[in-house]
Amino acid sequence: MRGHDSSYAELSKGHNSGTGLYAMPNSSDSKYMATLEKESLFRSIGTVIKAYGSGYRIFAKDSNDLAEWVAENDAIPIYEGIEDFTVNTVDSWKLAALVKMDEAFIHDASFNIENYLIKRFAKNFGRAEDNAFINGNGTEMPTGILNATGGAEVAATIDEITYDDVIGLYFSVKPEYRKNAVWLMNDVTALALRTLKDSVGNYLWRDSDDTILGKKVIISEFMPDAESGSKPLAFGDFSYYWVIGRRPIGVRTLTEKFAALDQLGYLAYEFLDGKLIRLEAVKVIQITEALG
């Protein structure tokens, strides 16, 4: 894959007349997705699925049915399973990134344009994805875990985070979700939690393996500080957040737009959605909103 006129020569095979974009060759797409998984936090802690095409819906199971013991010759209970499901409509939000480069640099035989663009786009898209999966409002972007509608449930509203509040958040999550749960916060909140001690002076945060109450701590710069009205601390099973790919990544080479500058542009698009399909799987602490 080179950046001059023969750049993305294979892309013509994957041309989409509706968008004017070209799908990456399979080898490049595989490299890109592997790199994106390293850059995007939610692609590692969430569930990633492909839902190409239109009219896709998610059927999320809501019930907590258990199997029942049945005496010999007794009737077996019958459940209307369809009533257990909540239907979520999946959107296709567009995420774009543009990289422009000098042609002389691109034509240098020692420069691997494929690897460069894969890393650059993966980093750009990964950061934008994580921000949306946390803070997105569901309008022209995915719905994030902190959104008031479709986001994680609020376990408690507090003035400031204390040792007891962290314990309370932990136990507000049902055992079935605590099994694979992690903590999510930013550096500022992490620093504050590192100083919390119990009544006999034991630190809440375990330094040896960076865990709180035996659960891994994950840091994201896109989580907010503990300020008025914010939700700085989340805990739960993030595998219930689904990252839904709607189309393969598409790339367009812009040969004319920057020609006067002796540059080429590479425009890439992702089409995806993100949803927390079981709201109770992740809980958050909210800081009391200041009056006035």
Within-domain flag for 129: yes
pLDDT band at 6 (very low <50, low <70, confident <90, very high): very low
pLDDT band at 75 (very low <50, low <70, confident <90, very high): confident
Q: Which DSSP state fits 197?
A: B
Same domain, 97 and 131: yes
Supply the CATH number for residue 223's domain. Answer: 3.30.2320.10
Contacts of 220 (CB under 8 A, 6+ apart): 41, 130, 134, 184, 185, 186
Looking at the domain assignment, is residue 8 inside a domain? no
- 189 φ, ψ to 5°? -65, -40
**pLDDT tens digit sequence for 205-256:** 988 889 999 999 999 999 999 999 999 999 999 999 999 999 888 888 888 8
Please tell me the predicted confidence (pLDDT) of residue 250: 85
Same domain, 126 and 221: no
Whether 110 is in a domain gets the answer: yes
The total of structural domains in the chain comes to 2
Q: Is residue 77 part of a domain?
A: no
Instruction: Report the distance separating Cα 141 and Cα 139, nearest Å.
Output: 5
Q: Are residues 94 and 186 in the same domain?
A: no
Residue 54 confidence (pLDDT): 73
- Specify the pLDDT at position 191: 96
Q: Which of residues 203 and 54 earns the better pLDDT score?
A: 203
Strands 182-185 and 85-89: unpaired
Average pLDDT, the chain: 86
Q: Residue 93 — pLDDT band, cuts 50, 70, 90?
A: very high
- Is the residue at 292 inside a domain? no
In this structure, are 173 and 184 located in the same domain?
yes
Residue-wise pLDDT tens digits, 25-40: 566 888 999 999 999 9
Instruction: Judge whether 72 and 63 are in contact, CB under 8 Å.
Output: no
Average pLDDT over residues 133-154: 97
Range of the domain at 36: 14-62+84-143+242-276
> Which helix H or strand E contains 37, and what residues bound it?
helix 26-39
For residues 128 and 211, state if they share a domain: no
Separation CA 290–CA 292 (nearest Å): 7
| Residues 235 and 270 occupy one common structural domain | no
Question: Do 124 and 229 have their domain in common?
Answer: no
CB atoms within 10 A of CB 136: 24
Res 3: pLDDT = 41
Asked if 99 and 110 sit in the same domain, the reply is yes
**pTM, entire model:** 0.84
At 7 the pLDDT is: 44
Confidence of residue 66 (pLDDT cuts 50, 70, 90): low
Band of pLDDT at residue 11, cut at 50, 70 and 90: very low
Instruction: Calculate the alpha carbon distances from 231 to 9, 144, 154, 157 in Å.
Output: 47, 12, 8, 9
Asked if residue 118 and residue 261 are part of one domain, the reply reads yes
Q: Tell me the mean pLDDT in the region 128-152.
A: 97
pLDDT higher at 89 or 175: 175
Q: What pLDDT was estimated at residue 114?
A: 85
Shared-domain flag, residues 223 and 127? no
- What does the pLDDT average to over 174-185? 98
Residues in contact with 111: Cβ distance below 8 Å, sequence separation at least 6, in sequence order: 105
In a domain, 71, yes or no: no
Give residue 126's pLDDT band: very low, low, confident or very high (50, 70, 90): very high
- Token pair of 264, please? 């080429």
For range 70-83, the mean pLDDT: 74
Q: 115 lies in a domain? A: yes
Measuring CA to CA, how many Å separate 139 from each of 59, 91, 231?
Answer: 21, 10, 20
Query: Does residue 165 share a domain with residue 270?
Result: no
Instruction: Give residue 174's pLDDT.
Output: 97
Same domain, 123 and 171: no
CATH classification at residue 134: 3.30.2400.10
Question: Is the confidence at residue 78, as pLDDT, over 90?
Answer: no
Mean pLDDT of 81-109: 82
Residue 5 lies in a domain: no
